[in-house]
Amino acid sequence: MSGLFEQNSKIGDYTLLRKLATGGMGEIWLAERKGISGFSKRVVIKTILECFADEPSLVDMFLQEGRIAAGLNHPNIAQTYDLGQVGRTYYMAMEYVNGRDLRNILLANVKKKQLVPLNLVLRIAAETCEGLYHAHTWHTPDGQHAGIIHRDISPQNILVTFEGKVKIIDFGIAKAAQSASRTRSGVLKGKYAYMSPEQVRGKQLDPRSDLFSLGVVLYEMLTARRLFKRDSELSTLDAVLESEVPSPKRFDVTVPKEVEDVLFKALARNPEDRFQDARQMQLALEEVMISCKLPASSAHLAAYMDEIFHDSLQYEQELEQMTNSNLMSMMERLPSASGPGPKMERTKPFAPGMSIEEPEISEKRELTRNLLPSVSSGQIHRGGKTTWHWAVIGLLAMILGVASWLLVKTLANPNTRVEIVDAGKTTKEAEGLSIKTRQDAKVQQTQAHVDSSMDAGTKLPKTDEKKTEGDLALGLNLSDKPDDNKAHGKTKRPSYGWVSISTAPSATIYKGGKILGVGSVKKLKLRPGRHKLLAKLPNGAQKVFHVKVVAGKTASTSVKFVKGKLRIVVHPWADVWVDGKSAGQTPMGALELMEGPHKVQLKNATLGKDIQKTVFVKPGKETSLRMDWR
């Protein structure tokens, strides 16, 4: 494709400085506008090719979108300044964003065999949501809802500046580019992997389509894997329609479950199951950053950008070298999430000058560890002298003080009792406090040496496994009320039940992402209530089912997968493989297959045809796959 303009040539009031990229619709230039008294402002000029001038509907759409984009005024959206025409060429002047798009950031980390820090990925996604919400809800000056949908949320259209700001670009031409693709091949090359299922199907879009696309971008930034990219465009579109999302923990075990939950919700196949607007998604991301202690701000992003692109001269050199086509080629070579790939270094939060990682703390730590400062050497230093003996004395005094306070408080309640459990002594019933020593071994001995004055059916109370931290540290078991069940020889009602599950054919049974068994599970112990489980066949077919557990009872349930039929019709003919096995040659009868997804490969060596498709077989129904190669 020959260039429309040359360096230092003029387009309107702008002087073209350097070509940044050439795309399917036109060219992108770094340009400058000069004025009086040394005034100068750099902008980005986007043009559309002269050949599109022959499509009036496309030109009208481009101009309309440009006018709307000019009205968007938000810090997370690159501004549109001007819309003009030179001869048969239409152009748009947009804000020059001094930074890098997400492709540059991701590939810079991949080169070092590491992942982008998790806290920064979440911050970029949250800022993108803020910009999208502004665009999705924007009203024209006359109060009309503009109904803007980006339609092309992808790594190349999300930029991070060297000041740590996040910018969305190309709002002005997204819809026009999609319209052009109906008549011009190659315009959306590389973009199919970021489309939503409804966009692939050509359905009416709403803002939730952009959120799905952002979910894809978020997944790839988290894992350095292409979520839906496959070997061919057709296979990529099939992958989008399937929307099967592997857990990001497969590639980075440090990804918190809360991040997974946000990711899976954004990538739900059904728009009704996604976040209903960008603000909902942003709030969810902000909550995750707070709850998982993953702070990130524009300052963090700026520091990180300076770290990975540290030399301003290097910025300019890379701009020359990393052309749009080079970046696309490098992104194409990233491994797919559905296959093997190189292992990356574990994601670490980026927070220069501060520690944001929580230390690992034992669940059974003693209460006193909360009350004393941690000392690495086991001694407390004060005035340059070691005074560890004073620390021990203070600790003992603290324990005695707490014990005395608890004893006095409990004795003030006449409705409680005292159980004194010690080695070789009997249990005495009285009004007051129930005190147990912390010598678990001796407690067991007292059970074997019960005083003869006790009733034959009386047993010493066992140590409570659910003691509080105070119980563990001080050996106290406080009880405001007598244990009526024990006093009257009653047993507690069971706090759990059981369920047995079988599947046909054999399927893997999951609960909360954990495998319970394959084929069947017998007497699974669960808390009373309703539980959600999942059964999944090796071919990917899955069924979600619920079981109701009643305390003290055993329930059983079975999950059955049903076969369906697949009818393959190819003109003139094709050799057929299903799930890697030869199924014969068309024309052929309907194939009986288990419900769920199946990989179908069709070959015709004479015509040079070889395609692969994923077909979903519906239970008890016939599904058709038709191809006409004549």
Residues 437-451 pLDDT 10s: 444 444 444 443 434
The least confident of 65-79, 228-242, 562-576 is: 65-79
* pLDDT tens-place string over residues 393-437: 767 777 777 666 666 555 555 454 444 444 444 444 434 344 344
Judgement on whether residues 323 and 256 belong to the same structural domain of the protein? yes
pTM for the full predicted model: 0.56
Would you say residue 619 has pLDDT above 80? yes
Picking from 74-88, 452-466, 492-506, 524-538, which range would have the lowest pLDDT averaged per residue?
A: 452-466
Output helix, strand, coil percentages for the chain, rounded to the nearest 5. Answer: 30, 25, 40
Based on the domain organization, do 228 and 254 belong to the same domain?
yes
**Same domain, residue pair 152 and 253:** yes
Which one of 559, 582, 613 terminates a domain?
559
Please say whether the beta carbons of 197 and 79 come within 8 A.
no
114 and 201 inside one domain: yes
Question: Residue 591 belongs to a domain with what CATH number?
Answer: 2.60.40
The secondary element (H helix, E strand) that includes residue 407 is helix 388-411
pLDDT at residue number 370: 35
Determine which of 289-293, 310-314, 556-560 has the lowest per-residue pLDDT on average.
310-314
Cβ-count burial of 481 within 10 angstroms (0-12 exposed, 13-18 middle, 19+ buried)?
exposed
Residue 573 confidence (pLDDT): 87
Task: Put residue 320 in one of left, alpha, beta given phi > 0 → left and psi -120 to 50 → alpha.
Answer: alpha
Q: Which of 307, 332, 357 is the last residue of a domain?
A: 332
Give residue 380's pLDDT band: very low, low, confident or very high (50, 70, 90): very low
The H or E element containing residue 66 is helix 56-71
pLDDT averaged over the chain?
76
**What is the helix (H) or strand (E) element at residue 570, kind and residue range?**
strand 563-571
- Statement to judge: residues 127 and 173 lie in one domain: yes
Instruction: Give me the residue label for tokens 């003109």.
Output: 571
Residue that is last in its domain, among 439, 457, 481? 481
Q: Which of 54, 82, 101, 152 is catalytic?
A: 152
Q: Are residue 186 and residue 278 in the same domain, yes or no?
A: yes
Assess if residue 489 is contained within a domain: no
Q: Coil, helix or strand for 517?
A: strand
Catalytic status, residue 273: no
Do both 235 and 143 map to the same domain?
Answer: yes
What does the alpha-carbon distance between residue 461 and residue 374 come to, in Å, rounded to a whole number? 36
The rounded percent of the chain whose pLDDT value lies above 70 is 70
If asked whether residues 128 and 193 sit together in one domain, one would say yes
Residue 277 has pLDDT above 60, yes or no: yes
Looking at the fold, whether 552 and 573 belong to one and the same domain comes out as: no
343-355 mean pLDDT: 62
Kindly state whether residue 298 falls inside one of the protein's structural domains: yes
Angle in degrees, CA 545, 550, 553, rounded to 5 = 110
Q: What is the CATH number of the domain that holds 504?
A: 2.60.40.2070
- Mean pLDDT throughout 353-363? 45
Q: Does 344 reside within a domain? A: no
* Domain with 435 in it: 418-447+470-481
Ramachandran bin of 522, using left for φ above 0, alpha for ψ from -120 to 50, beta for the remaining angles: beta
Q: Residues 152-181: what's their mean pLDDT?
A: 77
Q: How far is CA 476 from CA 323, 363, 439, in A?
A: 71, 18, 12
245 and 169 part of one domain: yes
**67 domain residue, yes or no:** no
Q: DSSP class of residue 116?
A: P
- 522 and 551 together in one domain: yes
The Cα–Cα gap between 571 and 224 comes to: 41
Residue 536 domain flag: yes
Number of domains in the chain: 4
Q: Are residues 131 and 246 in the same domain?
A: yes
